[in-house]
Amino acid sequence: MAIEKVSVLTPGQIQKIVNDAVALKDNHAKEVCLRLAGELAKEVETLKQKVKHYEKILNIRNLDD
């Protein structure tokens, strides 16, 4: 079974999005961008947890071989 490489935003990239959003003059646009950045941060954390979970499964399977 092949493991696919997943590309996600780094915390630094998310911080840049937040900084860019804060610099916006339009309050509605700022709110939307900050909300999206928050959702991206949550998604990154979810993906990190999934990676840890699958690493544990793979390590257990490797021990059985």
- Model pLDDT, residue 6: 54
The model's pTM:
0.53
Token output for 3: 């493991």
Domain ranges in the chain are 11-64
Query: CA 53, 58, 60 angle in degrees (round to 5)?
Result: 95
> How much is the mean pLDDT over the chain?
78
Q: CA distances (Å), 33 to each of 3, 8, 15, 21, 25, in order?
A: 32, 18, 11, 6, 12
Q: Is the pLDDT of residue 62 over 70?
A: no
3-23 pLDDT, tens digit each: 555 566 677 887 887 788 788
